[in-house]
Amino acid sequence: MTKLLKILTFLTIPLSIGLVIYIATLTHLVTQKFSGPKWDIPSKVYSDSLHLYPGIDISSIQLKERLERLGYQQTSETVTHSGEYQVQHEEGSNQILWTIYLNDFFYPLKNFAGFPITLDIMDNRIIHIFKIFLEKKPDQEEEIFLVELEPELIAEFFEGTREDRQVVKLQEVPSGLLNAIISVEDARFLEHAGLDPRAIFRAFLANLKAGAIVQGGSTITQQLVKNFFLTQKRTLLRKVNEALMSFIVENRYSKDEILEAYVNEVYLGQKGSAGIYGVAEASLFYFSKPLSKLTLAECAMLGGIIRGPGVFSPFKNKTLALKRRNIVLKKMLETNTILPSEYEQALQEPLRAKKISVTSNSAPYFVDFVRAELLEKYPSKVLTTQGLKIFTTLDMSLQLFADEALQTTLKQLEIQFPSLKEGLTPGERLQGALIAIHPQTGFIRALVGGRDYNESQFNRIIQAHRQPGSLFKPFVYLTAFLEDPKYTLAARLSNEPFTFTYDRQTWEPMNYEDKEKKEEKKEVSAREALERSINIPTARLATEVGIKKLAKTAQKLGIHPLPAVPSLSLGSAEVTPLEMASAYSVLANGGIRAIPLSIKQVVGPDGGILEGKSIEIQKVISPEASFLVTYALEGVLDQGTGRGARLFGFSRPAAGKTGTTNEYIDAWFSGYTPDLVATSWVGFDKEKKVGLTGAQAALPLWTRFMMKATQSKPVSDFLVPENILFEAIDPETGGLSTSKCPSSFKEAFIKGTEPKTVCEVHNPKKKKR
């Protein structure tokens, strides 16, 4: 007996020491988790918001599609809850009434509390906007003239499993929801020390009677420990660890701290690839409202879902969800956390089950661009764990238009020219890209960097350095107008071949073959040279003005420093589509450059603004020189190489230029209206010959996009600077036209550069006005 006692004593000491060390290890794990960041919160990337105002066309902004992407639910009943909308057609009239209950949204500089509005629409245009006051009489309305529709979530930055979660303090959770959770999950939560023997015994009897596991005995603390530290695998060791850690948690932390961690950790559903965690995120997911606006019935439903989100979700089974909600309400009544009158009222509330709106990244190339910008200031770990909110300049309607235009154009080209896809693997397919910028602000409104992001993440808008070809020519004329007043749109330029010698080298530019004319004119106007994209007069003009000055002009427009070689005038130096779009934005904005901008604000997890990017603008060229180029580029669309846009049906005032490189490898088009610039590119990544001009390949892409992007928008023309005047001239000679001239048109001139003599060919005796 003495010997056995000695053995037991000998074994007890190391076992006790081991147990102490083990408990100390578990305590360290618990303390580390509770004292540090408990969750990795993905950062969210949002599009720009949408402003609604009288006069706007709802089809051009795709209002219905946008509401559905935002998760709004259409209803035939009276709109009473946020996230709902109703469309009513007036009989015998083309008038339509839209009632929309706007969601709450936390903007960077303000918290917006949603309210219902009515849109009075006639012929697809908003005529009036009325704000409805539900707290007053049902018919109480106030006319307003501007309302903001919240931005769309377009992407999240996360590592590993995607968990959508909004962390809240316990005091932000309604008491009704806390009572619902405690009543149904752990009625003795405030009494036990981590484990509840009564609940365990009760569950044991229930399971024994049913012959299967129908009830659990885990407390809220045990559930939290299991989710925080342990796997879902059921083993004896896991149950022991769960019990020990539950005691540790209860011993070191208050009930409020435990409950706060639980309501933020609990899993409550699935939205595509993203798990819905925490009651705050679940409130938005199921009801499109913040926690503070939940009704008692909605609190009961959320509490009931915890037991099995895949079973009791109203999205999965509305009948089971309703039954489960009512069970929770009954439990709350039994635990005296609600009054009988509250119970009866909550039972009568209908269960509103909306459709799940899954967020899909419709702008993957843009998101990559934004991420790259953010990584210059924030570590990757911050982006994937700190729950930043990134508000961008992206217009989702324009983004979808751009992607649709790209897909349609490339498919049409492959049908029309089968050789473009013969013998090519998916990774070698014909590619394209398009970027759209608001010239006055620099806001990037759409960006499609390729045909298929899953196939290739190479962003051709910012990473592809390609020769722009003729797309560069407008900068030659811009430089000439800036440098010497003798150069006007009516100036006569030689079209005869020439050889230019520089640095012991020679360069001899050639015109593209013109099949419509047997021989080229020996002399053309600057306008005609630009409209028809003629090489020789453009190259000659560049050598006269100075290649270094041309390179300097390009740099002013936002293009990186380029080699000052003669072939620069014909677009031999490689640039990116982003640079070309930025440069053309200066022309559209009257000589003022707005730095391209993709991020407006970055908001931290506490709601404070970490970064607010302001619009950066600078006058880089004269508005008069800019206008002359724009006026000539309008002619490109009307009667030059870009006239295909007009044939396609695009009729509003616009300017633009085609671009085709040597051997027809790259096809470009850059064009703009007064308030939108777009640059399109079509080609192969490996610089294989496309065999098509910019007018054939890139112009259709640009036109398809611009027709959708500008549809039903007010038509506006380019502003004419005060120092510009118009004179009727003879197009053949550039002189002032008279009645004897067979044709004439009004040309733009900077004051003081207009012609002083009449056309001498058709008026040989008249020399001066």
Environment class of 504 (CB within 10 Å of its CB; exposed 0-12, middle 13-18, buried 19+):
exposed
Task: Write down the residue that tokens 């154009």 correspond to.
Answer: 409
Determine phi and psi for 645, rounding to 5 degrees. -65, -40
Sequence-ordered alpha helix ranges (H) in 236-376: 236-252, 255-265, 279-287, 296-305, 309-312, 318-334, 340-348, 364-375
Task: Write down the residue that tokens 């001066």 correspond to.
Answer: 768
Catalytically active residues, by annotation: 185, 470
Q: Give the SS3 label for residue 675.
A: coil
- How far apart (Å, rounded) are the C-alpha atoms in residues 276 and 511? 62
Residue 663 · residue 393 · CB < 8 Å: no
Residue 538 · residue 569 · CB < 8 Å: yes
**Which token pair is 6?**
């000695």
Q: How many CB atoms lie within 10 A of CB 161?
A: 9
Determine phi and psi for 330, rounding to 5 degrees. -65, -40
DSSP sequence for 618-666? EE-S-HHHHHHHHHHHHHHHHHSTTTHHHHHT--SS-EEEEEE-GGG-E
Q: Give the SS3 label for residue 739.
A: coil
Residue 361 · residue 155 · CB < 8 Å: yes
Residue 278 · residue 166 · CB < 8 Å: yes
Assign 3-class secondary structure to 393-413.
CCCHHHHHHHHHHHHHHHHHH
- How far apart (Å, rounded) are the C-alpha atoms in residues 587 and 4? 98
Question: 638: which residues sit within 8 A by CB, 6+ positions away?
Answer: 646
**Which token pair is 748?**
């733009």
Task: Please report the sign of the dihedral spanned by the C-alpha atoms of residue 172, residue 176, residue 179, residue 184.
Answer: negative
Nearest to 221 by CA among 180, 176, 266: 266
Task: Please report the sign of the dihedral spanned by the C-alpha atoms of residue 325, residue 327, residue 331, residue 332.
Answer: positive
- How far apart (Å, rounded) are the C-alpha atoms in residues 727 and 768? 15
What single letter denotes the amino acid at residue 629?
V
Sequence-ordered alpha helix ranges (H) in 492-596: 526-531, 535-545, 547-556, 577-588
Task: Please report the sign of the dihedral spanned by the C-alpha atoms of residue 232, residue 238, residue 240, residue 245.
Answer: negative
Residue 180 · residue 300 · CB < 8 Å: yes
Determine phi and psi for 271, rounding to 5 degrees. -125, 95
- How far apart (Å, rounded) are the C-alpha atoms in residues 721 and 194? 78
- How far apart (Å, rounded) are the C-alpha atoms in residues 435 and 702? 10
- How far apart (Å, rounded) are the C-alpha atoms in residues 595 and 614? 10
Environment class of 518 (CB within 10 Å of its CB; exposed 0-12, middle 13-18, buried 19+):
exposed
Task: Please report the sign of the dihedral spanned by the C-alpha atoms of residue 33, residue 35, residue 38, residue 44.
Answer: negative
